[in-house]
Structure 1
């Protein structure tokens, strides 16, 4: 029998670099939409942590979605802003006819999905250092030291996650 040796531990933070690159793809799409509007049939689903300390959502939404929430940016949103200096996104949406502004830190993003082209990105947990403005605002490649401390495990949710089927929102082919 042959035993496979575990892969060597990397001295380069590939996981973090990959995570930052994927977040940057989502942020660039949001910046494009903020400047130019959504082109064609593109629209975005953003899932984020409502329990992140810097997330700002109305109290009734925080009570309804205490840990995680998904919003859709399609027809009725306004004032979409991506602030790389402060590492946050802000957007105006209406909930039950009440206008609200949401502020979502980059570090609170969990997923980005553009169903028109089936592009979806899921993000891992970020530490404060990875989610801060400097880490997300840097566009220049630079050498970084590998992380010195292991990341703490993600907290377990107190209630089971809710699974929502998106089938009801998918376009069905028209039969002619």
Structure 2
């Protein structure tokens, strides 16, 4: 048995549980009010299911927006399936929770970021700036509540 408590993995699991709960509520009742989500995930994850043309266009990661039009949202214990519109072409996707890199709801300035050992300190700012470019109502960098797990990682 390990002598240390792995707080980093426990936090990741709790944060993924939060995403699952939020998406399950949306699947049942729809998006409330102005809520909308930017979800960035690793397109190279072995369990991600996306069209070949999407994986070719986004070979490392992809950010999807759940806002005005989506359908067939199915939430499971290990991931979610959804159909999104890409240039008037509906495409089904399957995203496992452990492929998610960021989950942001700019309507309430809330965000989760899943750090990995390869991430460096500048990635968080870049991610927020990239999300601001596609947000209808951009969030202010520094105002969003981004949860970073660096403090929990072993050195």
- Give CA-to-partner distance per residue, 1:99-139, whole Å, 9 cap, x none: 110001111111100011011000134xxxxxxxxxxxxxx
Instruction: Tell me the secondary structure at the aligned position of residue 107 of structure 2.
Output: coil
Match of 1:21 in 2: 14
Distance change (3 Å), C-alpha of 1:94 and 1:168: closer
Distance change (3 Å), C-alpha of 1:36 and 1:59: same
Match of 1:140 in 2: none
- Structure showing greater radius of gyration is 1
- Give CA-to-partner distance per residue, 1:51-107, whole Å, 9 cap, x none: 0011011111111100100000011100111111xx121000111111110001111
**1:170 Cα deviation (Å)?**
4.4
RMSD of the alignment, in Å? 2.4
Judging by fraction of residues, say which structure has more helix: 2
**So what's the TM-score if we normalise by structure 2?**
0.75
Structure 1: gaps (5+ residues): 1-9, 126-152, 156-160
2:130 is the counterpart of 1:164? yes
**So what's the TM-score if we normalise by structure 1?**
0.67
Number of residues of Structure 1 aligned to a counterpart in Structure 2: 130
Structure 2: gaps (5+ residues): 120-125, 139-155
